[in-house]
Structure 1
Amino acid sequence: MHKALLAVLATLVLAPATSAQTAPAALPDDQAQMKAHVLFLASDAMRGREAASPEYAIAAEYVAAQFFAAGLVPAGQDGGYLQKVPLVAYRAADHGDIVLTRKGSGPRPLLFGDDFTPGAVAGAARTTLDAPVVFVGHGIVAPRYKRDDYAGVDVRGKIVAFFAGAPASFQSEERAHFQSGATKAAIAAAHGAVGTILLTPAALPPAGGAWDRARTTWAKADGTGDMAGAPQLATLSATGAAKLFAGARTPWKTILAKSTDAEARFTAEPLGASLAVALRTSFEPGTSANVAGMIRGSDPTLGKEVVVLSAHLDHLGVKAEGKGDLIYNGAEDNAVGIAALIEEAKRFKASGKPPRRSILFLAVTAEEKGLVGSDYFARHPTVPIKSIVADVNLDMPILSYPFEDMTVFGADRSTLGPIVAKAVGTLGVTMSPDPDPAQGIFVRSDHYRFVQQGVPSVFLWPGQKGPGKAATAEFFAHRYHQVSDDLSQPIDWAQGIRFVNANYAIAREIADGDARPRWNKGDFFGLLYNGYGAK
Structure 2
Amino acid sequence: MIRPLGLAFALLAAVPLAAQPVEPRFTPDAFRAHVAFLADDLLEGRDIGSRGHEIAARYVAQRFAALGLKPAGVEGGWLQPIRFQETVRSGPKGQVTISGPAGAKTWEHGTEVVVGLNPTMPTGEVSAPLVFVGYGLEAPAMGTDDYRGLDVTGKIVVLLDGFPAGLPAEAAAHLVATKRMVAAAHGAIGMISVSTRDSAKRQSWASVVRNGNGKNYRWLRDGKPVFDGAAVRQSASANTPVAEAIFAGAPKSFAAVQAEAAKKGVRPRGFALRTSARIAQSASTRFIDSPNVAAVLPGADPKLASEYVVLSAHLDHIGISPERPGDTAQTDRINNGALDNAAGIATMLEVARAMAEAPDRPRRSVLFIATTGEEKGLLGADYYARNPTVPKAAIVGNVDLDMPLLLYKFTDVTAFGADHSTLGPLVAAAVKPMGIALSPDPMPEETIFVRSDHYSFVKQGVPAVLLATGFANGGGEQWRKFLGGDYHHPGDDMSQKIDWASGARYAEANWRITRAMANADTAPRWYKGDFFGDLFAAGAEKAALPK
Q: TM-score range by the shorter chain?
A: 0.7 to 0.9
- Partner in structure 1 of residue 218 of structure 2: 217
Q: Which has the higher contact order (CA 8 A, sep 6+)?
A: 2
1:178–1:184 contact (8 Å) kept in structure 2: yes
Q: Offset of 1:504 from its aligned partner?
A: 0.9
- Partner in structure 1 of residue 512 of structure 2: 505
Other structure's SS at 1:510 match: helix
For residues 438-491 of structure 1, give each alpha carbon's deviation from its aligned partner in whole angstroms, at most 9, with x where no partner exists: 111111110011111111001111222223233333322332222111111112
Letter matched to residue 311 of structure 1: A
Question: Closer, same or farther in 2 for the Cα pair 1:153/1:359, shift >3 Å?
Answer: same
Q: Offset of 1:272 from its aligned partner?
A: 3.4
Question: Unaligned 5+ residue runs, structure 2?
Answer: 1-23
1:91 equivalent in alignment to 2:92: no
1:207, 1:464 → 2: CA distance?
A: 29
Q: Offset of 1:158 from its aligned partner?
A: 2.2
1:197 to 177, 189, 192: 192
Letter matched to residue 194 of structure 2: L
1:135-154 superposed matches below 5 A? 135-154=132-151
1:471 equivalent in alignment to 2:473: no
Letter matched to residue 93 of structure 2: H
1:481 to 461, 482, 488: 488
- Partner in structure 2 of residue 186 of structure 1: 181
Letter matched to residue 525 of structure 2: R
- Partner in structure 1 of residue 309 of structure 2: 307
Q: Offset of 1:70 from its aligned partner?
A: 1.8
For residues 408-453 of structure 1, give each alpha carbon's deviation from its aligned partner in whole angstroms, at most 9, with x where no partner exists: 1111100111111111113222211111111111111100111111
2:207, 2:523 → 1: CA distance?
A: 53
1:394 equivalent in alignment to 2:401: yes
1:123–1:227 contact (8 Å) kept in structure 2: no
1:169 equivalent in alignment to 2:166: yes
1:185–1:231 contact (8 Å) kept in structure 2: no
- Partner in structure 2 of residue 112 of structure 1: 108
2:250, 2:487 → 1: CA distance?
A: 46
1:281 equivalent in alignment to 2:289: no
2:154, 2:74 → 1: CA distance?
A: 40
Other structure's SS at 1:132 match: strand
Other structure's SS at 1:302 match: coil
Other structure's SS at 1:304 match: coil
Letter matched to residue 62 of structure 1: Y
Question: Closer, same or farther in 2 for the Cα pair 1:62/1:137, shift >3 Å?
Answer: same
Other structure's SS at 1:219 match: strand
- Partner in structure 2 of residue 253 of structure 1: 255
1:529, 1:225 → 2: CA distance?
A: 19
Question: Closer, same or farther in 2 for the Cα pair 1:378/1:496, shift >3 Å?
Answer: same
1:321 equivalent in alignment to 2:329: no
Question: Closer, same or farther in 2 for the Cα pair 1:534/1:196, shift >3 Å?
Answer: farther
Report the more deviating stretch, 32-41 or 243-252: 243-252
- Partner in structure 1 of residue 55 of structure 2: 58
2:126–2:234 contact (8 Å) kept in structure 1: no
Other structure's SS at 1:288 match: strand
Q: Offset of 1:222 from its aligned partner?
A: 3.3
- Partner in structure 2 of residue 492 of structure 1: 499
- Partner in structure 2 of residue 20 of structure 1: none
Q: Offset of 1:223 from its aligned partner?
A: 5.0
Other structure's SS at 1:309 match: strand
Letter matched to residue 541 of structure 2: G
Letter matched to residue 139 of structure 2: A
2:259, 2:102 → 1: CA distance?
A: 29
Q: Offset of 1:521 from its aligned partner?
A: 0.7
Aligned-residue RMSD, C-alpha: 2.5
2:292, 2:64 → 1: CA distance?
A: 13
For residues 27-54 of structure 1, give each alpha carbon's deviation from its aligned partner in whole angstroms, at most 9, with x where no partner exists: 9983222111111000111111111111
Report the more deviating stretch, 398-407 or 34-43: 398-407
1:97–1:109 contact (8 Å) kept in structure 2: no
2:112–2:242 contact (8 Å) kept in structure 1: yes
1:37, 1:525 → 2: CA distance?
A: 35
Other structure's SS at 2:305 match: helix
2:125–2:234 contact (8 Å) kept in structure 1: no
Report the more deviating stretch, 160-169 or 449-458: 160-169
- Partner in structure 2 of residue 367 of structure 1: 374
For residues 472-528 of structure 1, give each alpha carbon's deviation from its aligned partner in whole angstroms, at most 9, with x where no partner exists: 333223322221111111122222121111111111111111111110011011112
1:416-495 superposed matches below 5 A? 416-495=423-502
- Partner in structure 2 of residue 384 of structure 1: 391
Question: Closer, same or farther in 2 for the Cα pair 1:470/1:204, shift >3 Å?
Answer: closer
1:406 to 394, 403, 413: 413
2:181–2:228 contact (8 Å) kept in structure 1: no
1:119–1:234 contact (8 Å) kept in structure 2: yes
2:342, 2:192 → 1: CA distance?
A: 39
Letter matched to residue 299 of structure 1: D
- Partner in structure 2 of residue 533 of structure 1: 541
2:67 to 59, 63, 70: 70
1:520 equivalent in alignment to 2:515: no
Other structure's SS at 2:362 match: coil
Question: Closer, same or farther in 2 for the Cα pair 1:305/1:198, shift >3 Å?
Answer: same
Report the more deviating stretch, 366-375 or 127-136: 127-136
1:414, 1:444 → 2: CA distance?
A: 17
Q: Offset of 1:361 from its aligned partner?
A: 0.2
For residues 323-352 of structure 1, give each alpha carbon's deviation from its aligned partner in whole angstroms, at most 9, with x where no partner exists: 322111111111111001001001111212
2:399–2:464 contact (8 Å) kept in structure 1: yes
Q: Offset of 1:353 from its aligned partner?
A: 1.2
2:337–2:493 contact (8 Å) kept in structure 1: yes
Question: Closer, same or farther in 2 for the Cα pair 1:130/1:28, shift >3 Å?
Answer: closer
Report the more deviating stretch, 112-121 or 414-423: 112-121
For residues 394-415 of structure 1, give each alpha carbon's deviation from its aligned partner in whole angstroms, at most 9, with x where no partner exists: 1111122222222111111001
TM-score of the superposed pair, with normalisation by structure 2: 0.86
Letter matched to residue 273 of structure 2: L
Question: Closer, same or farther in 2 for the Cα pair 1:341/1:98, shift >3 Å?
Answer: same
- Partner in structure 2 of residue 295 of structure 1: 297
Q: Offset of 1:97 from its aligned partner?
A: 4.8
- Partner in structure 1 of residue 19 of structure 2: none
1:293, 1:313 → 2: CA distance?
A: 14
Letter matched to residue 380 of structure 2: G
Q: Offset of 1:260 from its aligned partner?
A: 5.7
Question: Unaligned 5+ residue runs, structure 1?
Answer: 1-26
Write out the 4+ residue segments of structure 1 that deviate beyond 6 Å after TM superposition: none
Report the more deviating stretch, 486-495 or 121-130: 121-130
1:80 equivalent in alignment to 2:77: yes
2:258, 2:521 → 1: CA distance?
A: 56
**Number of residue-to-residue matches in the alignment:** 505
- Partner in structure 1 of residue 37 of structure 2: 40
Q: Offset of 1:372 from its aligned partner?
A: 1.1
Report the more deviating stretch, 115-124 or 304-313: 115-124
For residues 267-309 of structure 1, give each alpha carbon's deviation from its aligned partner in whole angstroms, at most 9, with x where no partner exists: 2111133334443332121111110000111222211111110
Q: Offset of 1:63 from its aligned partner?
A: 0.5
Identity level (%): 42
